[in-house]
Amino acid sequence: MKSIQTIVTALLVFFSATACRTGTPSPTAVKPGLTIRTLSPAPALVNYITLGTDTATDTETITCRRVLIVISGNVRILSDGESQNMGPFDFIRQDAGTRCSCATVDGTAELIDIRITGRDSDDHVERGTGDGSMKTYIEAGTVHNIRELLFCPLGDGVYARIVEAGQGLVSFDRLTPGSTFLVEPGSDRTMVVLSGEGVLSRDGNRGKLYESDVVTFRAGSTASIASPDSSMELLTVATSVPRRYLDTLDRQRLKLRTVILAGARPVLLLDGASSTPRLTTTEGPSWLDGAFYFSNYYRFRGPVGGRDEGGLCIIGTDGLYRVLNNGVQTCGTTPLGNGNLAVCDIVENRVIEMTPEGEIAGVIADSYNGIPLGMPNDCVTDLVGGLYFTDPRVAQSGPKQPGSAVYYVGSDGDIGPVTGWNEFNVPNGCLVSAGGETFYLSCSREATIWMFDIGSDGTLSNKRPFARLIPPAFPHDKDRGRGTADGMTMDREGRIYIATNFGIQVFDRTGEFLGNIWIPVSPAHCVFGGGDMSTLFMTCKDRIYSIETTARGYQWPLGDR
């Protein structure tokens, strides 16, 4: 994200007195190392603050509701005598009367300071989820991260991450390409363009919006912001809590509570940065006979077999982690009916069969029509002894397949593509429904999850969208890479859990978005396990996380469920 300090300095009245696009004056140097630039003086005060190395703000008593957001750097905030550390995209909500100061830690920092002086809206009431377990407010005085917030649909392709502040609201509103955000009449609000470009429309007039522009809407005004060609993210500050935001926040919390209890948080099972051997890139989880199997590969960081880490790994029934075979660089895995595992070997570019002890028992597929495969990525069995696997690449040299594809290996060993060559942009995760009638596919560079009907011979037909993911590539997701979707799994109600850059996105059997499960490190894949199959295990770069759910998954292979 470009620094908000690049905001234009001209004052531009736009469409009428009720909506204007504004710049800001030059930053004010409060003291050495501390500058403040006012993005919006009203209806809510929004300040952009820069702090130099070893710089602190003066202690003050907050006179209204405040939300403080760290944009970059690290700070230590002292709030009513309690010290807390805050990093990029952390935020804290504070009530009037709080005594507070903050100081940089190890370098400079940029913050957004939002002060809301409006009164509570007449239709705003403090509510719970219905079971008394969670209020809708973000707890005051506690540091949270933007990524922990639920995505709440505000329209087709428009999502909000909402921070209620009692007398107002702060929201991170995300517009996907081709979507339009409707600004409805209600409270006064200020909107800052954090990233992307859009078109602001009011009363038949149109004008461009660019990164770092600030738009103010007075109560009663209506307008729209469209992002026709690219994604866009807005910081919205309202002087009261609009009912539209409240309703969607309530609905989304209740939907996610069907699978995740209030207060449930990811648990770090294995920290590969400090474990022995260490982990580099975890993938391909499977639950088999009470043990958690997963892949770890380091092929881009050293010769295969030349390190202690890597290969097929296990967290056994004794809870201990060990490497079963470091001579194979594996990715996707899935249990087979004979008690072994089908495993994607990303160095030898094949799908192999491995025993639970990590020994190679045979080759399932390494070529089609006598031509080597590219690099099999993920695999899943069906109900009749067949196996699907995705191959997102072609061979680096020599004979190569016409393109990427999804392949099917029948119970008789015959192999063939079941999608068109290069029909999908990097096919990745794959899944077969519990009844064996539907195949699901995710792609690394597509936001759409696809579904197909499965024929009696394993062929796929009737391709159609199942769900559309919320894509990444926004300021507070920028350290999470460019991929969209990776591995996925299913519970016994037909809900699908998809590993994405900023967490697990959950959809019901109809493709309706239920919510996102925040994980501290980007997940690559997930699978259900545990004694009652209700624990969701997630492979996340050099870490393994789990979270308890109210759902129950299937024991694979599905034919043995």
Contacts 24+ apart (CB under 8 A), 127-135: 127/250, 129/250, 129/253, 129/254, 129/257, 129/262, 130/254, 131/257, 131/262, 133/261, 133/262, 133/263, 134/253, 134/262, 134/263
384-439 pLDDT, tens per residue?
999 999 999 988 888 999 999 999 999 999 999 999 999 998 899 999 999 999 99
* pLDDT above 80 (res 455): yes
DSSP tag of 491: B
Cα 528 to Cα 514: distance, rounded to the nearest angstrom: 18
* pLDDT above 50 (res 228): yes
**Is the model more confident about 475 or about 460?**
460
Mean pLDDT of the chain: 86
Q: What is the pLDDT of residue 300?
A: 59
Q: What is the pLDDT of residue 479?
A: 46
What pLDDT band is residue 367 in, cutting at 50, 70 and 90?
very high
* pLDDT above 70 (res 548): yes
CA-atom Rg of the chain in angstroms: 26
256-284 pLDDT, tens per residue?
999 998 788 999 999 999 998 899 999 99
Q: What is the pLDDT of residue 288?
A: 96
- Look at the block and give the residue holding tokens 């300095």: 9
This prediction has a pTM of: 0.88
Contact 515, 531 (CB under 8 A): no
Contact 460, 452 (CB under 8 A): yes
Q: What is the pLDDT of residue 239?
A: 83
Q: What is the pLDDT of residue 15?
A: 35
Give the alpha-carbon dihedral of 342, 346, 347, 349, to 10 degrees. Answer: 70
What pLDDT band is residue 351 in, cutting at 50, 70 and 90?
very high
What pLDDT band is residue 12 in, cutting at 50, 70 and 90?
very low
Token pair of 437, please?
A: 């009638």
Residue range 191-212: mean pLDDT, rounded: 88
Q: What is the pLDDT of residue 131?
A: 39
60-85 pLDDT, tens per residue?
999 988 999 998 999 999 999 899 99
